[in-house]
Structure 1
Amino acid sequence: MKRKSVTFIAGIMVLFFSLPQDIYATSWAYSFVVWEGYVYQVTDEEVERIEEEIGKVTAFSDMDQLPGNFSNAYREGTKYFSIEGTDPSEAIAVEISEDLYVKAYKEHEYLVKGINDNTGISFSGLFLTGLLAFVGVSAYQFRKNIRKKS
């Protein structure tokens, strides 16, 4: 009986750890900013004519991906502007110093979401909770059986 329980729990643990996990790299291929849920790759191309301020960096890290208007290169407060004659869904301007702006091109959707953006329950989290509950109940039953025998 004991051997079957240990084998079952080991099988469950192997299954759990073989599930895909989200892994985020901390090595960046290029400098970027996130705006409106999309990554914009920042270039060296200077922008002469900006229109209006459309946002700013709300989170900076050169090590971790963060939710919001995140950047791996520009500090919090760095401003984004629309570019005269360019749709912001294609490119935006990033202010790198007073009166100096560079172009950032839209690349892809930014997949990191904030804590409040998560609308579902993680399968692995749910599975781990169930596994812990199973182990707890099994341990309780085991102790109960031992006490009856003594």
Structure 2
Amino acid sequence: MKKAMYFLFPFYLLILIACNNQENSNADWEHSFVVWEGYNYIISSDEIKETEIGEKVDEIQTYLDGEVNVSKNDIFSNKFKKGTLLYSIKGIDKHKSLGVKTESGYVKINSNGKYGEDE
């Protein structure tokens, strides 16, 4: 009986590890991002002064906690929750960069092109 347990224990351990990795792999993106008006914006660590913030342009409609199919016309993020506000930045084209309102201020997000196109 003990020999059977020694034989089966690594097998059970392997199954547990494999199942755990499947659950975590869904939300394993290369970057934190926002998609707005069909453009993909990578979240930077650059803070923006409130005096540089322009008008409110939109808000996050969907928070993605896993890789799912969404329309490129939706406004979504894998970092910011639904309702997070997006702003223009004075003097910068909205399809180049936007500002995102966070608890600690504003952070800059930078477009790397149309969503779904290769970089």
**If the TM-score is normalised by the length of the shorter chain, which range does it land in?**
0.5 to 0.7
Determine if the alignment matches structure 1 residue 50 to structure 2 residue 56.
Answer: no
Give the number of equivalent residue pairs.
86
Structure 1 residue matching 2:65: 3-state secondary structure: coil
Deviations along 1:50-83, whole A, 9 cap, x unmatched? 0100011001112123331010011000010000
> Percent identity over the alignment?
33
1:2-81 matched pairs, under 5 angstroms? 26-48=27-49, 49-65=52-68, 66-67=70-71, 68-81=74-87
Report the counterpart of residue 144 of structure 1 in structure 2: none
Partner of 1:80: helix, strand, or coil? strand
Deviation at residue 30 of structure 1 after TM alignment? 1.1
Which blocks of at least 5 consecutive residues in structure 1 are unaligned? 1-24, 112-150
- State the 1:92 CA deviation: 0.4
- Does residue 108 (structure 1) correspond to residue 113 (structure 2)? The answer is yes
Residue-by-residue CA offset, 1:8-33 (whole Å, 9 max, x unaligned) = xxxxxxxxxxxxxxxxx642111111
Contact 2:100/2:107 (8 A) holds in 1: yes
Q: Structure 2 regions of 5+ residues with no counterpart?
A: 1-25
Q: Which is greater in Rg?
A: 1
Question: Greater share of helix residues, 1 or 2?
Answer: 1
| Structure 1 vs Structure 2 CA RMSD | 1.5
| Structure with more contact order per residue of length (Cα contacts < 8 Å, sep ≥ 6) | 2
Instruction: Give the secondary-structure state (helix, strand or coil) at the position aligned to 1:73.
Output: coil
The two structures have a TM-score, normalised by structure 1, of 0.54
Runs of 4+ in 1 over 2 A off after TM superposition: 64-67
